[in-house]
């Protein structure tokens, strides 16, 4: 182990990225409460309002391979700084929305570019490059920042909407996010020298194998596509629930603030879940940990149905805890699973391509729940789809089998 791998500086970077993700994804998941406010103020269908979030996800999907590629060349720090600026601009423009296409342009496009540049993909590439010796644990810890954002920012967003309206809430979030991300990234974040790749030799795989895995080669591997199924189905389910859970509970009699608090509790549970699943997966394997996490997700869907029948009981909060634990597995375990199978200099491009699959699955989940509601005036069909996705995702993880070595095909070394 090199001196740098034990330096305290990497833990400062980890802590900074933790807070960065809390800010960026606190905004991301606050869209569930903006959805309710926008439906109240505009005569738009539910699928139209949810479609702006799906547009964000599709832009994220389209940009991710490029962002992964360029991150491996210019470093994550520059991308995060550029993304912070784009986020602020997008949110300020979203505050001026008067027509549906304004929302799609400001939030679905400009904000989406900011999220892609400042969010998950460059952050994971950065953290992985500093923690090649403890990928699962580090990703589990840092992804807990997203849970903190859900726990803290989503309820605060609802309070701000109640106090000053959704337009000023967009403006306040723009100032807060840029006010943290820019100075914190400039002052505290550094890219690992050489991208951290001098540590690849210390991993279980050989240096030749680590250098072999590039995106064109990975695309020809069945295990890549099984892993893509994990990204697709897992995020279809979680984004479907995240975007519509507040509206679902409000439809069934809960107050908007109580429903937003349920989302916040899910975020708190995911902080524990992400650190726990990540550390557990370093010991038991990604497949076992992911299966337990998705079992929590399956249980949460059943409890949500019951919570709709008894919104004044403790069931919405039981749902939140189970959902937070289940969601945590989909976020914390997929980056180390990708690293297990496709380590090396090609990791950033490979992981970026899988973010495209993630974005497509998430966009479909967010939109189709709104569309089926418009057609049936019920979320029943969407919840059945979520249940099916919750079973398909762990099946794909076992097919990908990241705990088994992924040898270079013969004649390719």
Determine the Cα–Cα distance for residues 141 and 178; give it in Å rounded to an integer: 23
Which pLDDT does position 172 carry in this prediction? 96
CB atoms within 10 A of CB 229: 18
Architecture of domain 11-400: Up-down Bundle (1.20)
10-residue averages of pLDDT along the chain (413 residues)? 58 93 91 90 90 90 88 89 95 96 96 94 88 76 84 89 95 95 92 58 44 81 95 95 89 83 86 84 90 96 93 90 93 88 82 91 92 93 96 97 75 49
User: Can you give the pLDDT at residue 22?
Assistant: 93
pTM of the model as a whole: 0.80
Residue-level pLDDT at 412 = 52
pLDDT confidence of residue 379 = 94
> In whole angstroms, what is the distance from residue 412 CA to residue 339 CA?
20
Q: What is the pLDDT at residue 410?
A: 55
Annotate the chain with three-state secondary structure. CCCHHHCCHHHHHHHHHHHHHHHHHHHHHHHHHHHHHHHHHCCCCHHHHHHHHHHHHHHHHHHHHHHHHHHHHHCHHHHHHHHHHHHHHHHHHHCCCCCHHHHHHHHHHHHHHHHHHHCHHHHHHHHHHHCCCCHHHHHHHHHHHHHHHHHHHHHHHHHHHHHHHHHHHHHHHHHHHHHHHHHHHHHHCCCCHHHHHHHHHHCCCCHHHHHHCCHHHHCCCHHHHHHHHHHHHHHHHHHHHHHHHHHHHHHCCCCHHHHHHHHHHHHHHHHHHHHHHHHHHHHHCHHHHHHHHHHHHHHHHHHHHHHHHCCCCCHHHHHHHHHHHHHHHHHHCHHHHHHHHCCCCCHHHHHHHHHHHHHHHHHHHHHHHHHHHHHHCCCHHHHHHHHHHHHHHHHHHHHHCCCCCCCCCCCCC
């Amino acid at each position: 182990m090199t001196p740098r791998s034990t330096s305290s500086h990497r833990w400062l970077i980890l802590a900074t990225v933790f807070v960065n993700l809390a800010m960026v994804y606190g905004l991301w998941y606050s869209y569930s409460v903006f959805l309710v406010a926008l439906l109240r103020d505009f005569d738009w269908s539910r699928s139209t309002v949810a479609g702006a979030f799906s547009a964000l996800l599709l832009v994220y999907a389209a940009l991710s391979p490029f962002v992964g590629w360029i991150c491996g060349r210019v470093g994550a720090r520059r991308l995060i700084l550029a993304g912070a600026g784009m986020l602020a601009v997008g949110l300020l423009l979203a505050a001026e929305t008067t027509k549906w296409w304004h929302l799609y342009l400001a939030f679905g496009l400009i904000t989406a570019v900011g999220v892609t540049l400042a969010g998950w993909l460059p952050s994971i590439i950065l953290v992985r490059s500093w923690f090649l010796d403890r990928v699962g644990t580090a990703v589990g810890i840092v992804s807990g920042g997203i849970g903190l954002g859900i726990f803290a920012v989503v309820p605060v967003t609802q309070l701000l909407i109640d106090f000053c309206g959704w337009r000023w809430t967009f403006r306040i979030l723009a100032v807060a996010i840029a006010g943290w991300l820019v100075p914190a990234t400039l002052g505290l974040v550094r890219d690992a020298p050489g991208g951290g790749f001098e540590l690849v030799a210390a991993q279980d795989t050989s240096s030749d194998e680590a250098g072999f895995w590039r995106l064109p080669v990975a695309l020809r591997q069945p295990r890549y596509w099984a892993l893509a199924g994990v990204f697709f189905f897992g995020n279809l389910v979680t984004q479907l629930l995240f975007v519509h859970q507040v509206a679902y509970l409000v439809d069934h009699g809960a107050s908007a603030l109580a429903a937003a608090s349920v989302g916040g509790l899910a975020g708190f549970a995911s902080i524990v879940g992400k650190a726990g699943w990540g550390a557990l997966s370093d010991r038991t394997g990604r497949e076992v940990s992911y299966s337990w996490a998705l079992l929590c997700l399956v249980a949460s869907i059943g409890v949500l149905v019951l919570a709709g029948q008894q919104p004044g009981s403790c069931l919405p909060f039981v749902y939140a805890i189970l959902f937070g634990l289940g969601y945590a597995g989909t976020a914390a375990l997929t980056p180390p699973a990708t690293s297990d199978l496709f380590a090396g200099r090609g990791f950033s491009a490979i992981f970026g391509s899988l973010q495209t699959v993630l974005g497509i699955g998430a966009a479909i989940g967010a939109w189709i729940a709104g569309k089926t509601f418009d057609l049936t005036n019920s979320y029943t069909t969407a919840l059945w789809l979520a249940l099916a996705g919750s079973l398909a995702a762990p099946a794909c993880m076992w097919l990908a089998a990241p705990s088994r070595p992924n040898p270079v095909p013969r004649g390719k070394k």
